[in-house]
Amino acid sequence: MLVALSIRDVVLIERLSLSLNAGLCVLTGETGAGKSILLDALGLALGGRGDSTLVRHGSDQASVTAEFDLPEDHPAVALVREQGLEIEDTLVLRRVVTADGRSRAYVNDQAIGVTLLRRLGETLVEVHGQFDTHGLLNPQTHRSVLDAYAGLATIAAQVSAAYRAWRQVEAAREEAAEEIARARAEEDYLRHAVAELDELRPRPGEEEELAETRTVMMHREKVVEALNAAFGELAGERGVERGLNGAHRALMRIIDKAGGRLEPVIGALDRALAEVADAVATLQALSNDEDMDANALEKLEERLFALRAAARKHNVDVDRLAALREEMSRRLNLIEDQGDALERLAREAAQARDAYLEAAKRLSDFRRKAAGKLDAAVARELPPLKLDRARFTTALEPLDESSWGPDGIDRVAFLVATNPGSPPGQINKIASGGELARFMLALKVVLAQVGTVPTLVFDEVDTGIGGAVAAAVGERLAKLGRDRQVLVVTHSPQVAARGAHHLKVQKQVQKQDSEERVTTEVVELGDRQRREEIARMLSGAKVTEEARAAAESLIAGHG
């Protein structure tokens, strides 16, 4: 609930700090005292429109701070945490408007956008009155309000889950159909391209291998000349191999006469001969390699150029040709398998749609039953509020399939007809200012146990009524105050007498430098002051003893 409201330099309010309590709090004061300024200031802190006209004359800026004490599971707490903002024991909303019309918003002294501030405000306070309306007057809230009234959270969640499951399958079916259509449109191209790539048979890494081999082959003559020269030096008539063999034979003839001293030399010659033999064999293999064949270079270049031409044609790297061929083959297979795949997805989508529709119809049945109960409950509240000729109707309208969603297949709207025989319409378009607030009061009394908005504000809910009707309004406001914090701006002594707390809004005239300066202040009334204020409301400018006695009677009757 709202526990504190601090206002600085807003129109006629210079400095004001209020501590607020639970229950019904009434705000009274003479016409023009500034009650509307107080509500405008609260609206500013909740994300309402802010402009320079709200800044008190002579001030640089106006600021309003609203502090709320909330349970841990309140939607506003979750919303703040979703935004990555810190929250302490209380939630503090602050709004600053400068004299040039610029606006800044804060949550617990952390800067935020006005849009987020407005979203938070909608979860914290509902204002019902002749001019400023939120909450139930927004048709988009009616469906969730009806579901909350009827306790349909579980089945509503089931409908939402069924809808998501249906849309997921349907999205998969649509995506597959689109992909198949694209593939079918280019089927001839795909078949021709796959045939070309099948004939080419590209391999990843092949371009690099071919390029390296081509470089070697382009220097073939020099390589072959060097190979032949090396072969001659190693294995020719005057080559190393011949000399090593001759040395080996000469030493072997006298090895038994050297007393073992030649064995290391013989071993070294053996190793040298083996290494030379390996080198000669490698040279012979290289000389016979097809890379050294002049005809092989032409074939290699043809292959390399064919791969690069295919890559340019398909606008990919050469190494991607093999993967491209696989992707094209997959798309061709998809065309061939399209019947079975689409039929399977269509069956799954139809089953998911049926499951959603079954759950949504069940939800609709519950809503229709709850709508009748809600209408009857509101109807019982209307006569005491001088709305006995009015009719309240909860209308359920089936939606076109294109408008079905996670909330079901219904559009829910709260409609009223203020005169017999007149067609019902939206509350905020049919009811007058005073009727509007009383309709909202009747609804709120019925819906008192549902909803999460902790603070309700009624602005002049008693407009145009008095006597027993005003007493009935006060009774219902007091009843609401048992479950919620209720702030009501009133001119009715019957309503004021019901308040658990009483605030008086009044003007204060001060003289400064031979000029008068008018400010608005709000004071909390004690028991005696409260009796005087209600007596003033009963008798007018001059408070009589009879008015005081009547005020005492009103207060005592509801104590």
Q: Would you place residue 93 in the very low, low, confident or very high pLDDT band (cuts 50, 70, 90)?
A: very high
Q: Would you place residue 408 in the very low, low, confident or very high pLDDT band (cuts 50, 70, 90)?
A: very high
Domains and CATH numbers, the chain: 2-151+427-523 (3.40.50.300), 157-359 (no CATH), 525-559 (no CATH)
Q: Would you place residue 364 in the very low, low, confident or very high pLDDT band (cuts 50, 70, 90)?
A: very high
- Of 435, 483, 428, 490, the closest CA to residue 455 belongs to 483
Average of per-residue pLDDT across 131-153: 77
How far separated are the first and last CA of the chain, in Å rounded?
Answer: 23
pLDDT at 459 over 70: yes
Q: What pLDDT, on a 0 to 100 scale, did the predictor assign at position 62?
A: 93
The alpha carbon torsion through 338, 344, 349, 351 (nearest 10 deg) reads: 160
pLDDT digits (tens, 9 = 90+) for 414-425: 998 888 878 888
SS3 of residue 33 by DSSP: coil
The alpha carbon torsion through 480, 485, 488, 492 (nearest 10 deg) reads: 50
DSSP 197: H
Q: Would you place residue 170 in the very low, low, confident or very high pLDDT band (cuts 50, 70, 90)?
A: very high
pLDDT digits (tens, 9 = 90+) for 27-79: 988 877 778 888 889 999 999 888 888 998 889 999 999 999 999 888 899 99
pLDDT at 487 over 70: yes
Range among 238-242, 271-275, 310-314 with highest mean pLDDT value: 310-314
HEC states along 72-139?
CCCHHHHHHHHCCCCCCCCEEEEEEEECCCCEEEEECCEEECHHHHHHHHHHHEEEEECCCCCHHHCH
Helix (H) or strand (E) holding 270: helix 263-288
pLDDT digits (tens, 9 = 90+) for 335-348: 766 667 788 889 99
Cα→Cα distances 269→210, 239, 247, 248, 282, Å = 41, 15, 8, 7, 20
The alpha carbon torsion through 369, 371, 372, 373 (nearest 10 deg) reads: 90
DSSP codes of every residue in 464-520: T--HHHHHHHHHHHHHHTTTSEEEEE---HHHHTT-SEEEEEEEEEEEETTEEEEEE
For residue 196, the one-letter residue type is E
Q: What pLDDT, on a 0 to 100 scale, did the predictor assign at position 287?
A: 67
Average of per-residue pLDDT across 378-401: 90
Average of per-residue pLDDT across 263-270: 84
d(CA 81, CA 222): 76
DSSP 12: T
**What percentage of the chain reaches a pLDDT higher than 70?**
90
Q: Which residues pair with 28 in a beta bridge?
A: 504
d(CA 159, CA 153): 10
d(CA 285, CA 43): 94
Outline where DSSP puts E strands in 344-409: 391-398
pLDDT digits (tens, 9 = 90+) for 426-439: 876 766 666 777 78
Q: Would you place residue 132 in the very low, low, confident or very high pLDDT band (cuts 50, 70, 90)?
A: very low
Q: What are phi and psi of 332, to 5 degrees?
A: -65, -40
Cα Dmax for the chain: 157
pLDDT at 131 over 50: no
pLDDT at 291 over 90: no
Cα→Cα distances 400→157, 228, 367, 408, 442, Å = 21, 89, 18, 11, 32
Average of per-residue pLDDT across 463-481: 82
